[in-house]
């Protein structure tokens, strides 16, 4: 099999654990500052009521039961043996440390779970939470996933994120000071952003030498403020080749050591308004690889010393 022109998270896991590791997404019932304690307030511009991007989760069950249900699927499809518990929707540090500890421990108590990934916002990692996360980093395989989306404050304001880039930098710096692995989420194709704006965010991630990154294609979902804007004709969506070229540009700028957790995404079919081409996920991924090979480049090609 031909080597990929970028460093995949899946290959990293395979090398670390001696076989494939499958991520199981779980909803532990958290909310986020934008939505309030009961998820009844409007969230970010792109986020739907179930939490943006959270597809195929067995909500309403305890954490351990969600993991067992996910395991059955992974074992049947892939003969999987190792799993990461991924606390995905909303802000999975938005609770007192004692509550977080109980839920994280419940996940680690499930047979075959070899580590945790916790997704959250930069404004949801106060000192006492970071101290708890450092403890998990020391006792298991652990990733903190920070949703940034853009390094531009004007974009964060438009998205109604409720924090600025300085807030992200504070959270990121504090997490790295405790030795945590940090994966940063970035969305490409956000309203009002030019190609130069998006590449400036990529350059910032390269400057920080982030441990991992998830590149998300902007999905427009029915039932979101972004969906309303789209239906009113107020948003331009990237075409597939535009996105492919943009991702290749981003990968060339990222250090060769940055783990690539994701390069695109496939939104829920029943609520996805655009872009519909994103449903052909493997076609998009193959096109990104082909674009890099056509250029004769790879991840880190534009980074001095990589």
Strand ranges (E), 82-224: 82-87, 113-120, 141-149, 181-188, 212-217, 220-221
271 inside domain: yes
- Average model confidence (pLDDT) for the chain? 93
43 inside domain: yes
302 inside domain: no
**Mean pLDDT, rounded, for 264-269:** 86
* Residue pLDDT, tens place only, 214-251: 999 999 999 899 999 999 988 999 999 999 999 999 99
pLDDT over 90 for what percent of the chain?
A: 85
Helix (H) or strand (E) holding 262: strand 259-262
Dihedral sign from CA coordinates of 306, 197, 155, 265: negative
Question: Residue 23, SS3?
Answer: strand
Question: Residue 211, SS3?
Answer: coil
In this structure, of 20-34, 38-52, 153-167, 276-290, the range with the lowest mean pLDDT score is 38-52
pLDDT value, residue 43: 78
Take residue 178 and report the two structure tokens written for it. 């405790």
251 inside domain: yes
**Mean pLDDT, rounded, for 272-283:** 95
In this structure, of 94-98, 177-181, 233-237, the range with the lowest mean pLDDT score is 233-237
CB distance 219 to 169 below 8 Å: no
Domain count, the chain: 1
Beta-carbon count within 10 A of 62 CB: 13
Q: Distance between CA 124 and CA 171 in Å, rounded?
A: 9
25 inside domain: yes
In this structure, of 21-25, 269-273, 282-286, 297-301, the range with the lowest mean pLDDT score is 269-273
Nearest partner of 122 among 160, 156, 182, 169, judged by Cα: 169
On the question of a cis peptide bond just before residue 275, with omega within 30 degrees of 0, the verdict is: yes
pLDDT over 70 for what percent of the chain?
A: 96
177 inside domain: yes
* Residues ≥6 apart with Cβ < 8 Å to 233: none
pLDDT at residue 294 is higher than 90:
yes
**Judging by DSSP bridges, how do beta strands 113-120 and 21-26 pair with one another?**
unpaired
In this structure, of 6-20, 34-48, 71-85, 109-123, the range with the lowest mean pLDDT score is 34-48
Which residue range(s) make up the domain with 180?
9-295
**Mean pLDDT, rounded, for 285-298:** 98
* Residue pLDDT, tens place only, 30-55: 999 888 777 777 778 888 776 655 55
pLDDT value, residue 47: 83
Rounded to the nearest 10 degrees, how much is the dihedral formed by the CA atoms of 173, 175, 179, 181? Answer: -110
CA distance to 126, 201, 204, 271, per residue, from 185 (Å):
19, 11, 13, 22
304 inside domain: no
300 inside domain: no
Q: What is the CATH number of the domain that holds 241?
A: 3.20.20.70
């Amino acid at each position: 099999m031909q080597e990929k022109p970028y460093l995949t998270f899946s290959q990293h896991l395979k090398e670390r654990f001696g076989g494939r590791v499958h991520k199981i997404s779980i909803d532990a019932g958290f909310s986020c500052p934008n939505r309030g304690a009961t998820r009844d307030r409007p969230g970010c511009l792109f986020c739907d009521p179930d939490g943006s991007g959270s597809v195929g989760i067995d909500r309403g069950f305890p954490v351990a039961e969600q993991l067992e249900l996910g395991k059955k699927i992974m074992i049947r499809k892939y003969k999987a043996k190792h799993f990461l518990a991924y606390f995905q929707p909303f802000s999975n540090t938005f609770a007192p440390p004692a509550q977080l500890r109980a839920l994280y421990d419940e996940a680690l108590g499930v047979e075959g779970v070899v580590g945790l990934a916790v997704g959250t916002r930069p404004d949801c990692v106060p000192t006492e939470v970071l101290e708890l996360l450092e403890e998990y980093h020391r006792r298991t395989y652990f990733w903190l996933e920070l949703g940034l989306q853009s390094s531009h404050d004007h974009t964060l304001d438009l998205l109604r994120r409720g924090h600025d880039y300085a807030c992200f930098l504070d959270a990121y710096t504090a997490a790295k000071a405790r030795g945590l692995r940090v994966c940063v989420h970035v969305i490409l194709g956000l309203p009002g952003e030019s190609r130069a704006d998006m590449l400036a965010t990529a350059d910032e991630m390269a400057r920080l030498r982030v441990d991992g990154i998830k590149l998300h294609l902007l999905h427009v979902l029915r039932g979101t403020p972004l969906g309303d804007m789209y239906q009113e004709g107020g948003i331009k969506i990237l075409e597939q080749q535009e996105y492919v070229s943009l991702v290749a540009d981003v990968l060339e700028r990222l250090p060769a050591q940055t783990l690539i957790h994701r390069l695109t995404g496939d939104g829920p079919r029943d609520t996805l308004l655009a872009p519909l081409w994103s449903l052909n996920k493997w076609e998009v991924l193959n096109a990104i690889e082909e674009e890099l090979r056509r250029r004769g480049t790879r991840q880190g090609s534009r980074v001095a010393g990589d």
